[in-house]
Amino acid sequence: MMKSVDKFEKISELARRRGFFWQSYEIYGGVSGFISWGPFGAAMKRRIEDKFRDIFLRRLNFYEVETPIIAPERVFKASGHIEHFKEPMVECLKCKRKFRADHLLQELAGIASQETDRMGLQEIKHEIEVRKIKCPDCGGEFSEPRYFLTMFQTNIGPYSESVGYGRPEAAQGIFVEFKRLYEQVRERLPIGFAQIGHALRNEISPRQGPIRLREFTIIDLEFFFDPENPRCPLLSEVEDEKLRIVLARNRLRGDESPVELTVKEVVANGYVMVEWLAFFMALGKRFVTSLGIPEDKQRFIEKHPWERAHYSAQGFDQEVYLERWGWVEVAGFNYRTDYDLKGHMMESDVDMRVFKPSDKVTTRTEMRVKPKLQNISREFGEKTPEVVNLLKSVRSEDLIKSFNEKGFYEVGRLKITPEHVEIVLEEVKDEGKRFIPHVIEPSFGSDRLTYAALEYAYTIKDGRVVLKLPRDIAPVQIAVLPLVSRDGLPEKAREIYKMLIDEGFTVEYDESGYIGRRYARFDEIGVPLCVTIDYQTLKDNTVTIRDRDTWRQIRVEIARLPWLIYNYLRYKINFEDMGPPIEK
């Protein structure tokens, strides 16, 4: 009996052959968790990322930044990644292969992910032993489970003590630069900053092609807002958008079926902590739908507290259905509160707060600590600047209380006595207050989105592969084809090819082989339009345009080509609007 070939294998074969993607380092046997995007795949991926820029940045007047992939250890200490970015791992004592322990329980014991996510190492060990789970490769026994830090570690420069890590997300590059970015946008909230770039995760055992990678492209948007003013003024633009959501309360009862709610209903029922979260989820659904993935093949999963990232107060995963793996996360929407900015503020000693002016200025009297520099200098000498700096953070009430109880105040390892300071009363104007902004984060996996778009575009028509990609993410927009390679047709075709190139389109030229084979070749890589130059072109300066999906053809004047193609690719017109069909 012949083994059936699933869609992933068909797409992978096409992707390798036609230049979309393949496993990296093939000449050395390949390395799991790494893929290379070929010319068509890289172009398609960029178009998807550009679509994100249009929907989430240009239209909302947000900004894109670019920060390093490597960061010092302190960055990830402040962000909580060093403490929390770990996965349970076991090693086969026989063949020495390492596995994600929770994935083993899911795949070999059928335990749901929401159960394994709650397990500690001892519970994982117990389940492996009770269920007699062995190495799927050689049948060997497993070692004791242990946690594995899934960040790539390196040294910055030649010094071993200068530890750095490859970023597992692009978000921290935005958080550490927030103070400067906020100043550059004239100190306004709410505001969003995005970063699109590579991230690194040292996955234990990636075995899912482009779905689980050790190096991948992430799209992170950090939206900063005032927690005292969390209303979303743009909600009316998406309030009728329907979202399919698997609610956490239903999941606790074992019900994984989605409920379909409008954004307005999601907010009114209190299913989101912040309105902006529902707004970005609606944009996320529109974005993924525009990649050719049907609405009924998308859903949002509300995450339980034990499933959420360490920084998340509430989170929803946006999932799409893929033939081999079932429901797969392609995006996450998280309410990160002030977790990250507060962490970096504590670790760096840099004030990440923003100032909000009050509607009404008030005056009050406040006790202040005033250093007596001469006395401090006489006792502490060269440590005087350190003492003065430490005193800035001391509350006058704490100082007075300590003086009354002990006769001194200990700051650091230094003892401050009443002769070193004086407590003065000052009039203070309350013109506003300082606070740490809160953050909503939509985060997309560019590689997963690209694969998902390929899977839903992959169709068979009359025994041939047709890649029905949305026209604005197709890697090649137009193919220019002379009917035959003689009688002046190639020369005319190259003239039209150059004109379209000069107009800014992505164009392929091909004159090799029978015209039907060339059509099939371009259908297979998803080219929306083929422009054919034939003998009539030489008579009246018209060409045929062939539609990839219907195989219908129209005839138009060469002079109208740029305008027609431009508007077609931007969904301003459809194929039938471009001209009358050619009757066969």
| Residue 206: half-sphere exposure toward Cβ, Cα within 13 Å | 21
In terms of Cβ atoms closer than 10 Å to its own Cβ (0-12, 13-18, 19+), residue 51 is middle
Q: Is 466 helix (H, G, I), strand (E, B) or coil?
A: strand
Rg (CA), the chain: 30
Residue with tokens 């017109």: 573
Cβ 529 vs Cβ 516: under 8 Å: no
Report the predicted TM-score, pTM, of the whole model to 2 decimal places.
0.88
- In the structure encoding, which two tokens stand for residue 178, read together? 């927030």
Which pLDDT score, from 0 to 100, does residue 584 have?
A: 62
CATH level 3 topology of 476-577? Rossmann fold (3.40.50)
CA distance 75 to 153: 13
Burial pattern 167-204, b for ≥16 Cβ within 10 A else e, equals bbbbbbbbbbbbbebbeeeeeebbbbbbbbbebbbbbb
Q: Is 553 helix (H, G, I), strand (E, B) or coil?
A: strand
Contacts by residues 36-40 (CB-CB < 8 Å, ≥ 24 positions apart): 37/450, 39/475, 40/475, 40/476, 40/525
- The residue ranges of DSSP E strands in 468-566, in sequence order, are 478-482, 507-509, 529-533, 542-547, 553-557
DSSP string, 292-318: T--GGGEEEEEPPTTTS-TT-SEEEEE
Which pLDDT score, from 0 to 100, does residue 3 have?
A: 60
Residue with tokens 């004030």: 351
In terms of Cβ atoms closer than 10 Å to its own Cβ (0-12, 13-18, 19+), residue 514 is exposed
**H helix or E strand, kind and range, residue 43:** helix 39-52
Q: Is 153 helix (H, G, I), strand (E, B) or coil?
A: strand
Residue with tokens 């393949």: 22
pLDDT tens-digit series, residues 188-211 = 999 999 999 999 999 998 878 899
Give residue limits of the domains in the chain. 358-435, 476-577
Which pLDDT score, from 0 to 100, does residue 468 have?
A: 98
DSSP string, 329-382: EEEEEEEEETHHHHHHHHHH-----EEEEEEEEEEEEEEEEEE-HHHHHHHHGG
If one counts every other C-beta atom within 10 angstroms of the C-beta of residue 297, the result is: 17
Which pLDDT score, from 0 to 100, does residue 388 have?
A: 84
CA distance 84 to 311: 10
CA distance 48 to 475: 10
Cβ 190 vs Cβ 224: under 8 Å: yes
> Please, what sign has the CA dihedral across residues 468, 473, 474, 475?
negative
pLDDT digit string (tens) for the chain, length 584 residues? 456 689 999 999 999 999 999 999 999 999 999 999 999 999 999 999 999 999 999 999 999 999 999 999 999 999 999 999 999 999 999 999 999 999 999 989 998 887 898 899 999 999 999 999 999 989 999 999 999 999 999 999 987 789 999 999 999 999 999 999 999 999 999 999 999 999 999 999 887 889 999 999 999 999 999 999 999 999 999 999 999 999 999 999 999 999 999 999 999 999 999 999 999 999 999 999 999 999 999 999 999 999 999 999 999 999 999 999 999 999 999 999 999 999 999 999 899 999 998 877 778 888 888 889 889 888 888 888 888 888 877 888 888 888 888 888 887 678 889 999 888 888 877 788 899 999 999 999 999 999 999 999 999 999 999 999 999 999 999 999 999 999 999 999 999 999 999 999 999 999 999 999 999 999 999 999 999 999 999 999 999 999 999 999 999 999 999 999 999 999 999 999 998 888 76
Residue 560 neighbours by CB under 8 Å, 6+ apart:
none
Cβ 390 vs Cβ 384: under 8 Å: no
